[in-house]
Amino acid sequence: MIDYLTLTVVMIGATALLLPLLQVIKGRSENLPGYVLAVVLAASMVLLGLFTLNPSSVSWAGSLLIPDQLGGIFALVTVGVTLAVTVASFDFEKSTSNPVYYSLLAFTALGMVLLAYSEDLLMLFVAWELMSLPTYVLAGFDKKLRSNEASVKYAIIGAMSSAVILYAISLAYGLTGSTQISVVAMRFAALLSTSSQSTALASVSILLFVAGFGFKMSIVPFHMWIPDAYEGAPTTISTILAAATKKAGFIAAIRVLLAITTFYALTHSPLFTLANVFAVLAVLTMTVGNISALTQKSMTRLLAYSSIAQAGYMLIGFVAFSNAPGSAAASLGLTGTVFHVLNHAVMKGVAFLAAALVLLQLRRADLGAYDGLGKRMPITAFTLAVAFLGLAGVPPLSGFWSKLLLVLSVAYGPYGWVALVAILNSAFSLGYYAWIIKRMYIDEGESPEKVKEPIWFVVVFAVMVGLIIGIGLFPQQVINFVSGAVNSFAG
């Protein structure tokens, strides 16, 4: 019987390796590598979808990978975003070296798929690097000063976060003698009853995991690189960073941290618990993100800070989970996190792509370019408006439901204040989202002339706006699916 997952991995990997060869073909259609990658990614999505609907519970590749539904959701989301970016790149990335560009995209996608299914710390680290290294290059792909600066900054911070994760892995291995996540988690629990020194080391290891993953997940205070990198990188690549690799950070954190939490309280002190750590990080992240977003003057930076704020909402599920693993609230919270990851990938992905199109056509990224956009680029403006309302959590768009689940998961019990802060933040965030919508539809632009909206962008916009509204109106099926995946992971 064919194993769809193996087939997907081989297919994307082979495409990644072979795409640069297209460079030598003279007189090829300039978008040929893009078409190839798009077809491969679309086929991968079909295969992953089939695989996710009928998962096999046996461990795979010598218990390095666990092919469960939760991994399937993240693989689908990340490959889906990569596909959207690939399609949008047909118009955006016209340089002669674009086979390399698409090849690097394929490598990133491969890394993210493997990361989604990783069940072993070393596999996870390798997949993490496979995902990250191509994005360092892609961030500098514009070969402009800004872009190169972004690339270097991102690479240094990325290397540091990899080092932190590796250090955490080495501590975990030293303490438990295993790199398999489930074994590490169980032995950590056993440590709790033994010497205090090992307990302290285990806590350090967990906190290092939080920090290391936190860089990719854009958690405050590990977020400093985000706005600069998103702004400097080609905007399509910022889309990958915000909507795909960030989500990969989340699946890594879910796999590692939440497995550990199931067994482990950080210390014996009632104050210094993992749930408290997540609660503080969540509140800090959403608040800092939203307040900073309000003061931005460029669209990519605004989206970057909004992306940070959204990571704060996603962390709420971690709070609910680590507060009472195994409870209904934990399952609700983790469902909310995964659902919000999915929704955010669509909403933020399409918002970044819309910003990319504005940058491409108007050559401007400042917010002034958005004045009167409703008349100049009606489809783009409408897309942005829907995405923004969804990000703000306006019902009945998809973002509302995932936020509602997240808020409800912590509303009862000791973390009610996190729910309150999240709701206030959500209301506050509408301030800058509505402000942009106002600029697009009510303010007058400097010139009223229409701007061309390329067909491939329009296709991507239509699909993603359809998802935002469709999931918003009929959330039950998606929620059922996500909560089934979460329950089989956590239960």
Minimum distance between the CB of residue 399 and another protein, rounded to whole angstroms? 13
By CB under 8 A, is residue 241 in contact with another protein? no
Minimum distance between the CB of residue 449 and another protein, rounded to whole angstroms? 17
> In angstroms, rounded to a whole number, what is the distance separating the alpha carbons of residues 291 and 344?
19
By CB under 8 A, is residue 476 in contact with another protein? yes
The residues, any chain, with a CB within 8 Å of residue 88's CB and separated by 6 or more, are 236, 239, 353, 356, 357, 456, 457, 460
The region of 4-12, 93-101, 324-332, 342-350 touching another protein under the rule CB under 8 A is 324-332
Nearer CB in complex with another protein: 120/453: 453
The region of 74-82, 125-133, 352-360, 388-396 touching another protein under the rule CB under 8 A is 388-396
By CB under 8 A, is residue 291 in contact with another protein? no
By CB under 8 A, is residue 469 in contact with another protein? no
Of positions 174, 326, 395, 466, contacts another protein by CB under 8 A: 395
Minimum distance between the CB of residue 472 and another protein, rounded to whole angstroms? 10
Of positions 61, 291, 423, 458, contacts another protein by CB under 8 A: 423
Cα 421 to Cα 41, 48, 280, 313, distances in angstroms: 39, 37, 11, 10
The residues, any chain, with a CB within 8 Å of residue 259's CB and separated by 6 or more, are 181, 182, 184, 185
Q: Within 13 Å, how many C-alpha atoms sit on residue 371's CB side?
A: 10
> In angstroms, rounded to a whole number, what is the distance separating the alpha carbons of residues 19 and 428?
45
By CB under 8 A, is residue 479 in contact with another protein? yes
CB 41 within 8 A of CB 79: yes
By CB under 8 A, is residue 462 in contact with another protein? no
Cα 328 to Cα 30, 325, 374, 416, distances in angstroms: 53, 9, 44, 16
Minimum distance between the CB of residue 423 and another protein, rounded to whole angstroms? 6
Minimum distance between the CB of residue 420 and another protein, rounded to whole angstroms? 7
Nearer CB in complex with another protein: 174/395: 395
Helices (H), 393-415: 398-411
Of positions 401, 415, 432, 433, contacts another protein by CB under 8 A: 401
By CB under 8 A, is residue 137 in contact with another protein? no
Nearer CB in complex with another protein: 360/410: 410
- Measured torsion, CA atoms of residues 338, 344, 345, 351, in degrees rounded to the nearest 10: 180
Neighbouring C-beta atoms of residue 442, cutoff 10 Å = 10
CA nearest to 299, candidates 382, 226, 355: 355
- Residues 335-354 close enough to bind another protein by CB under 8 A: 335
Minimum distance between the CB of residue 476 and another protein, rounded to whole angstroms? 5
Binding residue count for another protein, defined by CB under 8 A: 34
Of positions 434, 451, 463, 469, contacts another protein by CB under 8 A: 434
By CB under 8 A, is residue 269 in contact with another protein? no
Nearer CB in complex with another protein: 134/472: 472
By CB under 8 A, is residue 475 in contact with another protein? yes
SS3 108: helix
The region of 30-38, 86-94, 208-216, 434-442 touching another protein under the rule CB under 8 A is 434-442
CA nearest to 387, candidates 342, 340, 349, 359: 349
By CB under 8 A, is residue 362 in contact with another protein? no
Nearer CB in complex with another protein: 225/321: 321
Binding mask 435-454 for another protein (x = CB under 8 A): ---x--xxx-----------
By CB under 8 A, is residue 174 in contact with another protein? no
The CA-CA-CA angle for residues 68, 70, 73, to 5°, reads 115
By CB under 8 A, is residue 263 in contact with another protein? no
Nearer CB in complex with another protein: 173/412: 412
SS3 408: helix
The residues, any chain, with a CB within 8 Å of residue 81's CB and separated by 6 or more, are 239, 240, 243, 244, 247, 345, 349
301: amino acid identity, one letter: R
By CB under 8 A, is residue 359 in contact with another protein? no
Nearer CB in complex with another protein: 135/425: 425
Nearer CB in complex with another protein: 70/172: 70
Q: Which residues of 159-192 are buried (b: 16+ CB within 10 A; e: fewer)?
A: eebbebbbbbbebbeebbebbbbbbbbbbbeebb
CA nearest to 254, candidates 408, 418, 77, 444: 77
By CB under 8 A, is residue 407 in contact with another protein? yes
> In angstroms, rounded to a whole number, what is the distance separating the alpha carbons of residues 456 and 140?
24
DSSP at 244 = I
Residue ranges in contact with another protein by CB under 8 A = 328-329, 331-332, 335, 394-396, 400-401, 404-405, 407-408, 411-412, 416, 419-420, 423-424, 426-427, 430, 434, 438, 441-443, 475-476, 479-480, 483
